[in-house]
Structure 1
Amino acid sequence: MNFRVHNEYKTHTAALTNFILNFDTKGEDFGNQDRNSLKLFKIEAKTLNAKSFRIPNIINQVAYRFLRKSKAQRSFEYANRLQSLGIGTPQPVAYYEFKTWLLFKKSFYISEQLDCDLTYRELTTDSNYPNHEAILRAFTRFTYDLHEKQVKFLDHSPGNTLIEKVGEDYAFYLVDLNRMEFKSMDLEERIKNFAKLTTHKSMIEVMSDEYAKCSNLSYEEVFNLMWHNTQDFQRRYWRRRRIKNKLLFWRARK
């Protein structure tokens, strides 16, 4: 077992380790358990969120053992880096890894639980959500700030930004952090980063308008790029789905 605990939680190392070692029998299930298991547990007055990553396939077990950082380690390190840049994300607590001499097995990432008011997803499913356009414009400014700070969030998708109402304003927090790049981006790469967020043209129009204002570019240029990338992502997504369904046709018969 290999682990690292944030300085603020060093005194709770024994409790954190005990929870991870007994993950299957402790804690409260949280959210969707299909891909990775999420559990909540308490340390004093704090509620912590522990994410258990699935054991990777055999090729990745070797790669994560010797060549690549684990998803848990990347999540922890990226969270600390985001905070150093003044970008919102739940407070990182620790990560744990389990390995054999040859293979990588399970890993866990622990952060403080953040109870948000909504995620970006609600904006895509409820166009009448209170202050819908104001939140969408604030989210666009948040994304522009990410890009200005050279953060490319590769999983910039509807469920991965938590939104909290703070007075008359809104705060944004990134989650699911294991896929990021830190680099300068040209306009094409910046706008492509919006491609996974929504299929609604009306939302693309608002985000394009706000991003154009932030970057002193023409609305037409930003909208055309954003709409094109959104449509292109959707075409590729549904093509992959069709191919996958054909290859796995036998599952549908069960």
Structure 2
Amino acid sequence: MYKYIRKSKAKRSFEYAEKLIACQILTPFPIAYIENSNFLGLTTSYYISKHVNYDFDFRDLIHKPLFPNRKEILQQFAAFTFKLHENNINFLDHSPGNTLIIEKEEKQYDFYLIDLNRMHFEVMDFNDRMHNFRRLWLSRTMVKYMSKTYSKLYNKTYDETYTLMLKHSRAFQKKVDSKKLRRSGRKMRFKSE
């Protein structure tokens, strides 16, 4: 399928990295991609990019509520995501492990996207934009900080932004949790309070 119908993950990653860089979105610099195939089609593919020495990734902000400058990082990350959306980039794998963060100077951060093979380039309405935050596994506090920044940039009220971002985040978390419960064979129990 990947040889004859669809581009390989490696080729998509390379091309998407070039598009991101053209939009001044940071990602490890793309060097090359390699595709190996036989008469049946693609067998293996590899994407090669420049190594980035990063300080931490987005997961640290989830697991360490007292992470230094957490509020400022989340606000800057919301502005970074807004820039993605303004450039019509719907990063489908916008999840905690796919953003590398570098501290540049006092309370200023650069964000690098990795694992680039799943993106759509399309105009996104307000619902689409808030839906794009869902995989980040945000707490209420994180949603609060990010909503304040995003609402100002997008000219929506804080309440509208907070409510919709939280709604999509919670729906995604519930879906993942219920899948884990189904796999474990346990029944979901709800508190009566």
Q: Does 1:91 align with 2:51?
A: no
Identity of matched residues, %: 42
Report the alpha carbon displacement of residue 118 of structure 1 after superposing the two structures with TM. 1.0
- Structure having greater relative contact order (Cα 8 Å, sep ≥ 6): 2
Deviation digits for residues 161-196 of structure 1, max 9, x if unmatched? 111111231111100000001110000000010011
Cα distance change of structure 1 residues 244 and 65 upon mapping to structure 2, 3 Å threshold: farther
The residue number in structure 1 matching 2:168 is 229
Cα distance change of structure 1 residues 134 and 199 upon mapping to structure 2, 3 Å threshold: closer
Q: Distance in 2 between matches of 1:167 and 1:93?
A: 28
Q: Quick one: which of 153, 159, 176 aligns to 1:220?
A: 159
1:238 aligned partner, one-letter code: D
Q: Distance in 2 between matches of 1:166 and 1:100?
A: 46
Report the alpha carbon displacement of residue 227 of structure 1 after superposing the two structures with TM. 0.7
Q: Distance in 1 between matches of 2:40 and 2:183?
A: 32
Q: Quick one: which of 111, 115, 118 aligns to 1:176?
A: 115
State whether residues 198 and 204 of structure 1, in contact with CA within 8 Å, keep that contact through their aligned partners in structure 2: no
Unaligned 5+ segments in structure 2 are 186-193
Q: Does 1:104 align with 2:39?
A: no
1:208 aligned partner, one-letter code: S
Unaligned 5+ segments in structure 1 are 1-62, 247-254
Give the secondary-structure state (helix, strand or coil) at the position aligned to 1:196. helix
Report the alpha carbon displacement of residue 244 of structure 1 after superposing the two structures with TM. 3.8
State whether residues 196 and 233 of structure 1, in contact with CA within 8 Å, keep that contact through their aligned partners in structure 2: yes
Give the secondary-structure state (helix, strand or coil) at the position aligned to 2:28. coil
Report the alpha carbon displacement of residue 234 of structure 1 after superposing the two structures with TM. 1.1
Cα distance change of structure 1 residues 245 and 104 upon mapping to structure 2, 3 Å threshold: farther
Q: Distance in 1 between matches of 2:120 and 2:16?
A: 9
Give the secondary-structure state (helix, strand or coil) at the position aligned to 1:181. strand
Q: Distance in 1 between matches of 2:27 and 2:183?
A: 34
The residue number in structure 2 matching 1:42 is none
Q: Quick one: which of 134, 137, 162 aligns to 1:195?
A: 134
Report the alpha carbon displacement of residue 245 of structure 1 after superposing the two structures with TM. 4.1
Runs of 4 or more, structure 1, over 4 Å off, are: none
Q: Distance in 1 between matches of 2:138 and 2:7?
A: 33
Q: Distance in 2 between matches of 1:245 and 1:76?
A: 38
The residue number in structure 1 matching 2:70 is 132
Residue-pair matches, total: 184
**Greater C-alpha Rg:** 1
Q: Distance in 1 between matches of 2:50 and 2:154?
A: 34
The residue number in structure 2 matching 1:71 is 9
The residue number in structure 2 matching 1:238 is 177
Could you state the TM-score of these two structures normalised by the residue count of structure 2?
0.92
State whether residues 137 and 173 of structure 2, in contact with CA within 8 Å, keep that contact through their aligned partners in structure 1: no
Report the alpha carbon displacement of residue 236 of structure 1 after superposing the two structures with TM. 1.4
State whether residues 79 and 177 of structure 1, in contact with CA within 8 Å, keep that contact through their aligned partners in structure 2: yes
State whether residues 147 and 162 of structure 2, in contact with CA within 8 Å, keep that contact through their aligned partners in structure 1: yes
